[in-house]
Structure 1
Amino acid sequence: MATFDVIVVGAGIVGAAIARETARAGLRTAVVEEKVPGSGITAAGMGHLVVMDDSPAQLALSTFSRGLWLQERDKLPASIEFEERGTLWVAADDEEMREVHTKRATYEKAGVASEVLDTKGVAEAEPNLRPGLAGGLRVPQDAVVYPPAAAAHFLSDAQHRGAKLVQGRAVAAGKGEVTLSNGTKVQAERIVLAAGSDISLLPQLPIQKRKGHLLITDRYPGFAHHQLVELGYLKSAHKLTDESVAFNIQPRQTGQMLIGSSRQFGKTDPASEPRILRLMLERAIEYMPKLAALSAIRAWTGFRASTEDKLPLIGPAEAITEDASLWLAAGFEGLGITNAPGAARLLVDQLLGHKSMLDVTPFLPARLAGSPAAKKEAHV
């Protein structure tokens, strides 16, 4: 039976980033993945590297993580398609412009560069936006990547440092052992569950799925220059019930436009829904009327892993389960791509007993140990 120091279950971008960090630290690392690494929830995402300020903890983590991405941008392979395009948060009216100034002040305190644009400035930055928008906030160092290639790069680096990829479906994990569907067992003192929205290995995890749709167009180089997001996105992203859509468009290096976004709770069917796509496109066309003339070539869905307080679970799972061998890196909602490097650092610091650059307390799974999902398992 193969024995390691750490087993990472899941080779999406978070799991791959953790494997790279554990391997860098000299820990014997195994990564268990059933499918092609990076082909699950990672492949379904936009790949927007963005600083988010929905809470002080999320601001700290996303700023830290984006900084790690920027530190290695010159070393990233071309396949990752890293581009420092910047984010333009678009304000439709005076109320949203007040939010722009609040956001700028928050970013300034966190050391994040940003620039307020007025109506004319937004029109000059993005001529295809509709006329008359109130303004916006440009965050120049936000970037975009191609997520599957980024996950593959992290995993390749981990393997180069000695990590082993174990292909197979994990059907059980705990007490220092992972069992695959073919009966193979792999052992380690610590097991990190980084399987996105799949909680089958620890059903009491307080995580919910949020379904999202994306659509990509044919190639239209120069149609948009920044990642464009409406200020209303923040409101829609934080709704815990029903469904919502918001204007969110990303120009890809290929010249294609990646159009989002939608959020739905309680949906488990991965099929694209024409009604949601229509609502999403109608919202996008409100902001960029010329989008109506572009040809869409493909639509797909994915499931974000959401927690009730909108923060990921990074650390030991012992407050949720009595099994001290289980650790968590899950619940990243739509920020797994951005936060993967930072989350990996925080987790490995805990594994090694090192002090982290960030306060890890807001991300510890123990904070949600009393959630309804965790309590349900305790009474079974």
Structure 2
Amino acid sequence: MLTRDSSDVIVVGAGVIGAACAYYAAQAGLSVTVIDRGPVAGGTTGSGEGNLLVSDKPLGPELELALLSCRLWRELADVLPSRIEYEEKGGLVVASDDTGMDALRDFAAAQGRAGVVVQEVPADRLGEAEPHLAPGLAGGFHYPQDAQVQPALAAAHLLRAAGPKLRLLLGEEVTALLTGADGRVRGVRTAAGELRAPQVVNAAGTWGGELARRAGVELPVRPRRGFVLVTEPLPRMVRHKVYAADYVADVASDLAALQTSAVVEGTPAGPVLIGASRERVGFDRTLSTAALRRLAAQATRLFPALAQVRAMRTYAGFRPYLPDHLPAIGPDPRLPGLLHACGHEGAGIGLAPATGLLIARRITGAEPPLDPRPFRPERFAQTT
């Protein structure tokens, strides 16, 4: 019998991944406790732009996860309040020269065969899509499936929509996982006491590796720092999510050094958001003027009018990076009852619904919505 301190599932992490896991588990009839050492969306989720992208995903399992999430986000937009700011604004990827355009064309053709909706935009039509875009570009590709949400609101409303099956505990850090004599998970320990559940989901984001170690297993999640510039509120100057072709290569890169490739997008509230930088510097939050200068320069090359616009603030966040750029999603055979849902790097907001549904299906034994094998957490056991 369940007691006040027990539930069917404990989800560690109240970001958008943990919220999605809790939502779909509750939809499956399970009682869920979500626990976080900080507030809702206090980590990577609260520092994200809210990107829901298929445009940057090459053929493979992450693209399949993104396409499923794309469909699920549209369903959730009908269930959750409009305050999550879901917007199907579409993405526009542009090339500066013919060589880049040829590479984008090959990339888009492969995506199209996998079910991505993509349309080529010749150079003389770019101004119709984005009137303020710089002249002289070679062309681009429009991805109407790319969308955006306000990530902190999305996480909060997913938790709220889980209903009475959910219990939310904030400001409590999980210090250990509890196991029984049979070696299976039986709950977690915090400074406030023990919480019991036969299933524990590690949705701790950039701290997912540390939580795994506390459970006695290795998962090589590392933080990858990024900065976002926020401009003063403007009339809708940027209609789509716009980025140059080199962004795709930067996402897939393993380099630890600073990389920047501007992603520029407007928001319903008016400010323009400018990302994205990447570097592996641990959890160092020191402001990088080099990163910000490069982002600003790249953004103004795409949109020259931004050179006259004030940047009001900037913020930093940490993406949960795994070496093969695929998240860990599913049960960990090294510790029965432990499941992982972390390591999504910069794509976690976009991939959250499919991740949550996959976790819920694995817990209940239902048919998974896609092949879970590429995401198995133990795949790093031979290389760490």
TM-score > 0.5, shorter chain as reference? yes
Q: Give secondary structure in 1 for the equivalent of 2:297.
A: helix
Are the structure 2 counterparts of residues 188 and 290 from structure 1 closer, same or farther at C-alpha, using a change threshold of 3 Å? Answer: same
Aligned partners of 1:279, 1:253: CA distance in 2, in Å? Answer: 25
- Assess if the C-alpha contact under 8 Å between 2:232 and 2:309 holds in 1: yes
Aligned residue pairs: how many? 367
Residue equivalent to 1:337 = 349
1:123 aligns with 2:127: yes
Q: Which moved more, 1:118-127 or 1:140-149?
A: 118-127
Q: Does 1:247 align with 2:262?
A: yes
Match of 2:25 in 1: 22
From 266, 279, 283, the counterpart of 1:268: 283
* Counterpart pick for 2:242 among 204, 228, 231: 228
Give CA deviations for 1:80-127 in whole Å, capped at 9, x if unaligned.
Answer: 111110000111111121122223222321222111001111122112
1:181 corresponds in structure 2 to 191
Please list every run of 5 or more consecutive structure 2 residues that lacks an aligned counterpart in the other structure: 180-185
Q: Is the 8 A contact 2:321 2:343 kept in 1?
A: yes
Tell me which amino acid in the other structure corresponds to 1:195: A
Quote how far apart the aligned CAs of 1:277 are: 0.8
State the Cα distance separating 1:77 from its structure 2 match: 1.2
What letter matches 1:15 in structure 2? G
| 2:43 alignment partner AA | G
- CA drift at 1:230: 1.0
- Contact 1:240-1:265 within 8 A present in 2 as well: no
Matches within 5 A, 1:1-380: 2-51=5-54, 52-158=56-162, 160-167=163-170, 168-175=172-179, 176-182=186-192, 184-198=193-207, 199-203=209-213, 204-241=218-255, 242-318=257-333, 322-372=334-384
Q: What is the DSSP-based 3-state SS (H/G/I as helix, E as strand, rest coil) of the residue aligned with 2:239? A: coil
Determine if contact 2:12/2:204 at 8 Å carries over to the other structure.
Answer: yes
> Partners of 1:314 and 1:113 in 2: how far apart?
26
The one-letter amino acid paired with 2:230 is I
8 Å CA contact 1:76–1:82 kept in 2: the answer is: no
1:36, distance to aligned residue in structure 2 (A): 1.6
The AA in structure 2 aligned to 1:358 is: L
Structure 1: give runs of 5+ residues left out of the alignment. Answer: 373-380
The letter of the residue matching 1:201 is L
**Aligned CA-pair RMSD:** 1.4
Shift of 1:225: 0.3
Q: Deviations over 1:147-200 (max 9, x none)?
A: 000000100011x14111122121222422211123x11011010010100132
User: In 1, are the aligned partners of 2:11 and 2:33 still within 8 Å (CA)?
Assistant: yes
The structure-2 alpha-carbon separation of the partners of 1:78 and 1:13, relative to structure 1 and needing over 3 Å to count, comes to same
Conserved? CA contact 1:42–1:148, under 8 Å? yes
Contact 1:53 1:106 in 2 (8 A): no
Q: Deviations over 1:265-311 (max 9, x none)?
A: 13421132112111111121222221111111110111101111110
Distance 1:342 1:265 in 2: 27
Give the whole-Å Cα distance in 2 for the aligned partners of 1:127 and 1:174.
Answer: 58
- Could you say if the C-alpha distance between residues 266 and 10 of structure 1 is closer, same or farther in structure 2, counting changes exceeding 3 Å? same
Contact 2:14 2:40 in 1 (8 A): yes
Q: For the Cα contact (< 8 Å) 2:229–2:314, is it kept in 1?
A: yes
Tell me the CA shift for residue 237 of structure 1. Answer: 1.6
Is this contact kept in 1: 2:14–2:36, CA < 8 A? yes
* One-letter code aligned to 1:4: S
Secondary structure of 1:131's counterpart equals coil
List per-residue Cα deviations over 1:44-98 (Å, max 9, x = no partner): 1110111142341111110111111112323331221111100001111111211
TM-score (norm 1): 0.93
* Structure 2 CA distance for aligned equivalents of residues 267 and 19 of structure 1: 29
Amino acid at match of 1:325: G
- Conserved 8 A contact 1:24-1:161: no
Q: Which residue of 1 aligns with 2:183?
A: none
Give the corresponding residue for 2:182. none
